[in-house]
Amino acid sequence: MAALAGLLLLIGGIGAIGVATHNGSVSTTAGTSIGSGQLGSGSGTGSVTTNARDAVVTITTFTRSFGPTSIIGGQNGLTPLGAGTGMILTSSGEVLTNNHVVQGAWSIHVSIPGHSGTYTANVVGASPTADVALLQLQNASGLPTVTLGDASSLSIGDHVVAIGNALGRGTTTTTSGTVSGLNRSITAQDPTGDAEHLTGLIQTNAPIVPGDSGGALVDSSGEVVGMITAGSSTGPGQTATKVGFAIPVDNALGIANEIRAGHGSSTILLGERGYLGVAVRPLDAAAAAQLGLGTTSGALVVGIQPGSPAAAIGITAPAVITAVDGRSVASADALGPILHAHTPGERVRVTWVDQQGATHTATANLISGPAV
């Protein structure tokens, strides 16, 4: 098994949020590859990609910041979260992108080449495990759409163009290269440090950088064959990487079709998900000892959103959430999926340990929150 250091999910930094530089790894447990190959020309524009460029959008996300004492700034209480890319599937404004592009967003704004202003987008559904999300633009019609190809027809050495939103600057960018691997498996990290495991990916040496996530990998016929999702980290300067990965468009579209059909499951989440209103971090023995907490297992609560369900039932930071509806919460990573199984309006019993070591259980009425 070979590994490369510095694999990250390609979310661009905006505002006060820096460009992601987290490390990760890529494994070659399956598939074939010719290595990193040679860099493409860096332009890749032309008649082949004109239609695809017109239907590739830039995405900007916003969040609400809060801690033990809430600090909410920015317009309408929102602060910049990150930036990425998406592809228009329908003229009425369905947009395909990565789940990690919109994860944690309270507001999603989309810009389309040749269209003034921005569109607000809602998450129709998402698959965090497959890193796919389907958005719907509000009040959209008559939009250009990408032409979808067949990823199974790709061969190593085929010419491809990567279309994205390099460094999250809000402009459509293109680079060119070749397919350098097929059916690849990777482990990458998002800006929060959480690991993501993806399989069956297309590997390319077309130069890509943060901000390109959710963008189009286009073949020589101008058809979209993949959705850009990850690349290797090059450090603070974030020059273009020689190793990038894309989800085959057939796989991504299959998930989008399940979302369209309303087929939710343990891996496909539809619509808005239940929200408790806590900011959590991993808990270890050192953190527990420093904060005087009486447990080392659970989700460490470091912030409460004012007016949230968590605030209403009396959770205060620091604390440790240990169970939801009788299901044990072993870690911070486990809390999200447990809560996301519920929808706004549902009531759940939350168990937590406070800083004095006392255990509490109370029923919270979940509300709508950010994208998962």
User: 146, 142, 50: which is closest to 93 by C-alpha?
Assistant: 142
> Among all residues, which ones are annotated catalytic?
100, 131, 213
Q: What is the dihedral of CA 258, 262, 267, 273, to 10 degrees?
A: 140
| Displacement of CA 91 from its chain's centroid (Å) | 24
Other C-beta atoms lying within 10 Å of the C-beta of residue 145: 17
What's phi and psi for 99, nearest 5 deg? Answer: -60, -40
Q: Is the Cβ–Cβ distance between 143 and 55 less than 8 Å? A: yes
Q: Which residue, chain included where needed, has tokens 């929200």?
A: 275
Distance CA 311, CA 305 (A): 7
- By DSSP bridging, strand 94-97 and strand 132-137 are antiparallel
Q: Is the Cβ–Cβ distance between 163 and 50 less than 8 Å? A: no
Other C-beta atoms lying within 10 Å of the C-beta of residue 68: 13
Distance CA 208, CA 227 (A): 12
